[in-house]
Structure 1
Amino acid sequence: MLKQLMNDADYLMLPGVYDGLSALIASQAGFKALYMTGFGVAASLLGKPDIGLVTATEMAERAAQIVAAAGAVPVIADGDNGYGGELNVMRLVQAYERAGVAAIQLEDQVMPKRCGHMDGKLVVPMDEAVQKIRAAIAARSSADFLVIARTDARATNGLDEALRRGHAMLDAGADILFIEAPQSQAEMQIIASTFAGVPLVANMVEDGKTPEFAPAALAAMGFRLILRPVSALLCHARTLQLAYGELAATGALASDQPRLAFADFNELVGLAALQAQAKQFSNR
């Protein structure tokens, strides 16, 4: 389904989701596909930064929850660096397929990895990165499960090395290419022209390393998948700060505090439909 969506549209914009509620709300907002962000999972699951603390098991469990909440909307799931060697990558691919994920993103950072827009990243040798992509391709049970190859080499070895790795990852069978954190429009245009005809990812991170552009402008450059991985998460965190801060200070929320009514929240999460379903099996 994701492959068909990509073929049918000039671009897809995918919001970052990190739990069942965020996936539900994003799907109800009308997005055609969603992106499970490792940055967001680390924050929502552990209350920690994206520095390699979340395990493969935790990511697979969270992916299954997100896919279930998203319904028919396909989910791309961050697979970080595969959490080990080639066999670990294969297990992760199989776990994500069982969870119903539409595509996995795999990067070439060392362990422990960190957010692509943080400083201090390191990458593995290119041959190791390529072998992980080959392992992912070998492990999938269907070509409809897509493999997104991401390189973080721009930050460590420069753009030319990132381009070289991109070619090698595509030769290894990757379906989509993601060169993380180009630092200017000129670099983005070089990436797009170098890989003309290849489905490319643009990662738009607020206050990140890459300049922000509107989706139509990115599509005009040649980027097909546009990620907004932390946009909603940053808003969510600020809203929680305000709400908890006000509760701590005053004991209640002001009437003008943005919030859903209790009944509206229950409608959002499908209470009535579940109650009707339960009545089929009970007289209560």
Structure 2
Amino acid sequence: MSHPHRLRAAIRADGTTPLIGVFDMFSASVAAQHYDGMFVSGFGFAASHYGLPDIGFIAWPDIIAFVQRLRLAFPRQHLLVDIDDGYVDPETACHVVQSLEAVGATGVILEDQKRPRRCGHVDGKQVLPLEEYLEKLHKVLETRKDLVVVARTDATDEHDILHRAEQLAATDADVVLVDGVRSVEWIKRIRKVVGDKPLLFNQIAGGKSPRLSLGELSDLGVDVAIYSTPCLFAAHEAMDSALADLKAADGRLPEVDPASGVGVKASTSLLERNIARERLTPEGVGV
């Protein structure tokens, strides 16, 4: 079964499928120990790769190269990729979709924001005219062979949110995402207007949307949940704390508990799993 077919099967199954945001190969290595699916977050990638906020700095060749590395190291994971607005024009969007499909991506999210774009959970977002976005979306849908396509709107006007969600659900996109949903009541309203189309919900710490469990999301009819930043924010907090402790200790490293602590042995063991030969059975079949 192809990667996109596996994700579609997971979406059709009962419950809400979680996809964990990763921002580099190390965060992906940790996430793969806990979850079957990854989300290549634009927020995390802009922060990790460029040291910049998520406002449109990402260059599409960098995303493609990253996804290629992910697929080589994680042959069985769902890999849903944030491609922002398709990097402006429809031709580029289609080229990126073809390239990502060629390197093994499972799916992409295409948004309707206009430049300068913003993270979906901050103020100041502006959206393209609906017909302009739909034209781009249709070209992407015609270009993909099997790739899962998530149609995303960042509309903020209440009428526009529901209108766009309904229009996106009427396309051949596999899933609909309304980003920055502010309440459970709005999830219910969006679920109603998209009909039978699968629905995706984006949770980000400190963002505009309510913090909900997978069980709660499932009860609301949400089929997929992306967690954009838990790895990034945890790394931020842990690194800041570790370096503050190191400074306070006059540069003396802490003792590492061999049973539970992270040191050279634990990190090396984690990374060795990503070597191709380590993922093969004696018969040479990927596990």
Q: Tell me whether 1:57 sits opposite 2:61 in the alignment.
A: yes
Higher relative contact order, structure no. (Cα contacts within 8 Å, ≥ 6 residues apart): 2
How much has 1:200 moved relative to structure 2?
0.4
- Alpha-carbon distance between aligned partners in 1 of 2:252 and 2:17, rounded to the nearest angstrom: 41
Task: State the match for 1:25 in structure 2.
Answer: 30
Structure 2 residue aligned with 1:110: 114
Partner of 2:252: 252
1:108-154 Cα offsets, whole Å, 9 max, x none, are 01122110011111111001110111011111122xx110000000x
Question: Within the alignment, does 1:150 sit opposite 2:155 as a pair?
Answer: no
The TM-score normalised by the length of structure 1 is 0.89
User: What is the identity percentage for the equivalent residue pairs of Structure 1 and Structure 2?
Assistant: 27
How many angstroms apart in 1 are the aligned matches of 2:193 and 2:15? Answer: 19
- Choose between structure 1 and 2: higher helix proportion: 1
Aligned residue number for residue 145 of structure 2: 141
Letter in 1 for 2:121: H
SS in structure 1 at match of 2:32: helix
Residue 7 of structure 2, aligned match among 2, 8, 19: 2
Q: Is contact 2:166–2:193 with CA below 8 Å preserved after alignment?
A: no
Counterpart amino acid of 2:140? Answer: A
Equivalent residues in 2 for 1:162-181 (5 A)?
162-181=161-180
Q: Deviations over 1:20-39 (max 9, x none)?
A: 1111221121x121111000
Unaligned runs of 5+ in 1: 278-284
Asked if structure 2 preserves the Cα contact closer than 8 Å seen for 1:201 and 1:224, the reply is: yes
1:88 shift after superposition: 1.0
* Cα distance in 2, alignment partners of residues 39 and 97 from structure 1: 21
State the AA in 2 paired with 1:262: V
Count residues in correspondence: 271
Alignment match of 2:263 (pick from 256, 261, 264)? 261
Out of 121, 125, 132, the residue aligned to residue 129 of structure 2 is 125
- CA distance, structure 2, for counterparts of residue 175 and residue 186 of structure 1: 23
Structure 2 residues not aligned, in runs of 5+: 1-5, 280-287
Structure 2 residue aligned with 1:35? 39
RMSD between superposed Cα atoms in Å: 2.1
SS in 2 for 1:239: helix
2 CA distance for matches of 1:196 and 1:225?
Answer: 15
Tell which deviates more after alignment, 202-211 or 63-72.
Answer: 63-72
Match in the other structure for 1:11: 16
Please report how far the alpha carbon of residue 247 of structure 1 lies from its aligned counterpart in structure 2 after TM superposition: 3.1
For residue 207 of structure 1, give the secondary structure of its aligned residue in structure 2: coil
| Length-normalised TM-score, structure 2 | 0.88
8 A contact 1:177–1:200 mirrored in 2: yes
Give 1:184's aligned amino acid.
S
Rounded Cα–Cα distance in structure 2 between residues aligned with 1:273 and 1:87: 36
| Residue in structure 1 matched with residue 272 of structure 2 by the alignment | 270
- Alpha-carbon distance in structure 2 between the residues aligned to 1:44 and 1:213: 27
> What is the CA deviation profile of residues 137-195 of structure 1, one whole-angstrom value per residue up to 9, with x for unaligned ones?
111122xx110000000x2xx13212211222233321100011111111111111222
Task: Give 1:51-90 correspondences, 5 Å limit.
Answer: 51-90=55-94
Q: Which residue of structure 2 aligns with residue 280 of structure 1?
A: none
